[in-house]
A = this chain, B = another copy of it.
Amino acid sequence: MKATINDVAKLAGVSIKTVSRVINNETSVRQLTREKVQQAVDELKYQPNLSARNLAGTKSYSIAYIYDNPNAYYIIDMQEGILSACKQQGFELLIHPCDSKSQGVTEEVVNMVKQARIAGLILTPPLSEMPEFVQSMVDLDVKVVRIMSGDVAPDDLSPCVMVNDRDAAQTITQHLIDLGHTNIAFIAGDAEHMSTIERYKGYRRALKASNIAFNKDLVIEGEYSFDSGVSGAKQLMVEQSNKHVRPTAIFSCNDEIAAGALFAARLMNISIPEQLSIVGFENSPFSRQTWPKLTTADQPNNQIAEDAANLLISQIRKQKNPITISQYVPKLIVRDSTAKC
């Protein structure tokens, strides 16, 4: 059956404690011994038993991904990325969906963490953007890593993996400007999401950099939904037209909104991209299912998640690697929904 630490010890001719030291990468093991043990480990394809470790040690080898599902695609990507880091590092992943708006989330998660002896947590928006919630988690005896929108961490409650929506949004807007557009509208996502705010900042910054006057009539408040895209685009293309500032391009805060805008344009007999350019954000499967396909920004969620998990695990292991706060800038993907003005 499966090899245990005893088998390895016997094969290597050392005590189990020494094997334990080697697999835990502790100091005070002679190089020669270490190699002998490692060889035995490899030969037997030994993998430590998680239950035994959890039971015997004070350390835990479980991390949890706590999330309030904003978007199924996103969550699935995150899970896969985290999982792949866990597999490599011999950690176990517990997933814990919850409702960030419910009264008792914090308590619920606190209980869960205590109950399951969890060593660390990964948090994504919207949970990662709720300061009191994050604080509560940090107050427990668990490590936390947050994935959030921005260029630098907003505080030092925990290490963060940052997604620089601002720069990406600037690049996207610049893409539109490069195509000759000057009347560029912006349909926002939920105002309380940092990503919305950041993307908006990037949009503004791009305009400014090219000396294009900002026109607040071209900014529509919305939410991250298809409907919001539909109504936003209608408002822009119909109502605004009275004021003679019909935009020639729309920056949609995500792909869902963009899909809605695309749909609205079709309703109004506006051809895309000839008469109107539309860009999305996120590169969701959505964006390849529209017609024309959306120009958008891609963020490597899988990799972001893996990164976050690795960061978390190295924290748990107290590896004093200079906690490199990683930052990802979503990349522009030009497809068929944008064209020269």
Which A residues lie at the B interface, using CB under 8 A? Answer: 2, 47, 49-52, 54-55, 69, 72-73, 75-76, 79-80, 83, 92-97, 114-117, 225-227, 230, 256, 259-260, 263, 266-267, 285, 289-291
Instruction: Find out whether the CB atom of B72 lies under 8 angstroms from the CB atom of A95.
Output: no
Q: How far is the CB of A280 from chain B (nearest CB, A)?
A: 14
A114-B2, A227-B289 as given contacts; A55 in contact with B47, CB under 8 Å = no
Complex: chain B residue closest to A92, CB-CB: B94
In terms of DSSP, what is the predominant structure of the interface of chain A? helix
CB-based contact B93/A230 at 8 Å: no
Q: Which of chain B's residues has its CB closest to A53's CB?
A: B51
Which residues of the other chain, B, contact A230 by a CB distance below 8 angstroms? 291
5 nearest A-B residue pairs (beta carbon):
A226-B289, A72-B72, A51-B54, A51-B51, A51-B55
Q: Which residue of chain B has its CB nearest to the CB of A69? A: B76
Q: Is the CB of B47 within 8 A of A115?
A: yes
Contact of A97 among B47, B79, B114, B225 (CB under 8 A): B79
Taking the nearest CB of chain B, how far is it from the CB of A114, in angstroms? 7
Alpha-carbon gap, A290 to B50, bound state (A): 47
Residue from the list B75, B227, B290 in contact with A76, Cβ < 8 A: B75
| A52 proximity list for chain B (CB < 8 A) | 51, 55
Alpha-carbon gap, A12 to B294, bound state (A): 66
Q: Is the CB–CB distance between B289 and A256 below 8 Å?
A: yes
Closest approach, in angstroms, between the C-beta of A60 and any C-beta of chain B? 9
CB distance from A40 to the nearest CB of B (A): 18
The 8 Å CB contact of A93, one of B72, B95, B225, B266, is: B95
- B-side contacts of A54, CB under 8 Å: 51
For this complex, 18 residue pairs linking A to B, each with C-beta atoms less than 8 Å apart, are A49-B55, A50-B51, A51-B51, A51-B52, A51-B55, A52-B55, A55-B55, A72-B72, A72-B285, A76-B76, A79-B95, A83-B97, A93-B95, A225-B289, A226-B289, A230-B291, A256-B289, A267-B291
State in angstroms the CA–CA spacing of A157 and B26 once bound together: 47
Smallest CB–CB gap between A37 and chain B, Å? 20
**CB closest residue in chain B, given A225:** B289
* Residue in A47, A76, A80, A95 with the greatest tally of chain B CB atoms within 10 Å: A76
Shortest CB–CB separation between residue A336 and chain B, in angstroms? 13
Identify which of B72, B92, B291 contacts A75 (C-beta below 8 A). B72
Can you name the residue of chain B whose Cβ is closest to the Cβ of A117?
A: B51
Question: What is the distance, in angstroms, from A226's C-beta to the closest C-beta of chain B?
Answer: 4
How far apart sit A219 and B96, CA to CA, in the bound complex (Å)? 43
| Nearest residue, chain B, Cβ from A80 | B97
Report the minimum CB–CB distance from A229 to chain B (whole Å). Answer: 9
Output the nearest chain B residue to A230 by Cβ-Cβ distance. B291
Which residues of the other chain, B, contact A227 by a CB distance below 8 angstroms? 289
Residues of B within 8 A of A256 (CB): 289
On chain B, the residues within 8 Å of A267 by CB distance are: 266, 291
Q: A95 contacts which chain B residues (CB < 8 A)?
A: 79, 83, 93, 95
